[in-house]
Amino acid sequence: MVSVEGQPDFSMESISYVARKALKNLIAQGKAPIPSVYEAAFINIAEREGMGGLVEFIYSTTGRRFSPEKIADEVAAVITEVKSDLGEYGERLEEHNSSLHEEQKQLEEASSIDDGIAAVEAVSGIISSILYANELMRASLENAYAKLHSREAQLQSLKNQTRLDPLTGSLNRRALRHDIELELARAKRYNRPFALVMADLDHFKEINDRFGHLVGDDVLKGFVMLVRSQIRQTDGLYRYGGEEFVILFRETELKTAGFVAERIRQTVESNVIKKKNEPGVQFSITASFGVTAVREEDGGPDAIISRADKALMAAKAAGRNRVVVEP
């Protein structure tokens, strides 16, 4: 294991805001705030408010990260449960319809009764039976409604999981492309800036070769923690592949992104990493960074990612452990 200084800091005000808004939305939608439903609502609000870092932190600290295979199994299980629920509901509906048909026949028979009192009693009994059948159906519908909301919450939770890297808890490559597309749309519509930073851990293979892949994994997790301690809740941190990461700075100009990237570089360089159970073994790492910002001609994620990658390659070619901001 690796000890890393620096923890992500989320204000109580922002967490309280998300919590209140999630509860308010559930009440407005008539949904019961049971744990699974409330959790999905909380994470949805956090993502919509641009607090991707908070979502990452929740999953990384609770250990609730799944592999793609696990997510597929969970989705299949939810689909099976929904099918079962629908089958049960269909049976109840058939029973209800059958009951109503029977009551209709009894009403027709009652209409032929000559004795007025007997006819009233017969109709009254039939009405009571109908009301009872309707009450059973209402309870069945409420139960089905609650189950479907629970399944919806499960699927939303799984959807959130598909955006995360299972090792580090950062967002993944798929989430990066999706989020860049959203930011590009905002940039074009509202003329709002955003910047992208691509980072690569220098000589990471040597760490794996020297200390083993478990330590290498811990180094990646530690790097994520360090970066989170230096960026805002509204920024996004993504594992692009291997030891490469991307930071999405929303509402940020190129110069500011370069400044923050340099601050992160210095933080990473000055951090001392110690092997668990081996206090005498310690080392440090460095990272290289390429910085770019959105341009008017950018038509999709590939253009801005490519520029950030070229800037990163320039930083590595210049000797690593540095930040290169595109001209």
Is the pLDDT assigned to residue 215 strictly greater than 70?
yes
Residues 6+ apart with CB under 8 A from 158: 66, 71, 74, 75, 78
Model pTM score: 0.61
Considering the domain boundaries, does residue 303 fall inside one? yes
Is the pLDDT assigned to residue 219 strictly greater than 80?
yes
Number of residues that make up the chain: 327
Same structural domain for residues 81 and 153?
Answer: yes
Considering the domain boundaries, does residue 197 fall inside one? yes
- Choosing from 134, 161, 188, the residue where a domain stops is 161
Same structural domain for residues 156 and 183?
Answer: no
Considering the domain boundaries, does residue 107 fall inside one? yes
Considering the domain boundaries, does residue 143 fall inside one? yes
Same structural domain for residues 206 and 93?
Answer: no
Residue 214 has a pLDDT of 87
Considering the domain boundaries, does residue 1 fall inside one? no
- State which residues form the domain around 96: 68-161
Same structural domain for residues 143 and 248?
Answer: no
Considering the domain boundaries, does residue 204 fall inside one? yes
Same structural domain for residues 127 and 255?
Answer: no
68-71 contact pairs (CB < 8 A, 24+)? 68/162, 71/158, 71/161, 71/162
pLDDT in tens, 242-276: 899 999 999 999 999 999 999 999 999 999 888 77
Same structural domain for residues 292 and 227?
Answer: yes
Could you give the CA distance from residue 285 to residue 270 in angstroms, rounded to a whole number?
A: 8
Could you give the CA distance from residue 78 to residue 15 in angstroms, rounded to a whole number?
A: 29
Same structural domain for residues 149 and 212?
Answer: no
- Choosing from 161, 196, 220, the residue where a domain stops is 161
pLDDT in tens, 26-56: 777 766 666 656 666 776 677 666 565 666 5
Q: Is position 243 annotated as part of the catalytic site?
A: yes
Could you give the CA distance from residue 286 to residue 226 in angstroms, rounded to a whole number?
A: 12
CATH assignment at residue 266 = 3.30.70.270
Is 122 within 8 Å of 110 (Cβ atoms)? yes
Considering the domain boundaries, does residue 146 fall inside one? yes
Residue 7 has a pLDDT of 42
Same structural domain for residues 195 and 279?
Answer: yes
From the list 243, 253, 269, 297, the catalytic residue is: 243
Same structural domain for residues 320 and 177?
Answer: yes
Same structural domain for residues 123 and 187?
Answer: no
Q: How many domains does the chain have?
A: 2
Backbone phi, then psi, for 283, in 5-degree steps?
Answer: -160, 175
- Choosing from 103, 134, 161, the residue where a domain stops is 161
Could you give the CA distance from residue 159 to residue 148 in angstroms, rounded to a whole number?
A: 16
Considering the domain boundaries, does residue 157 fall inside one? yes
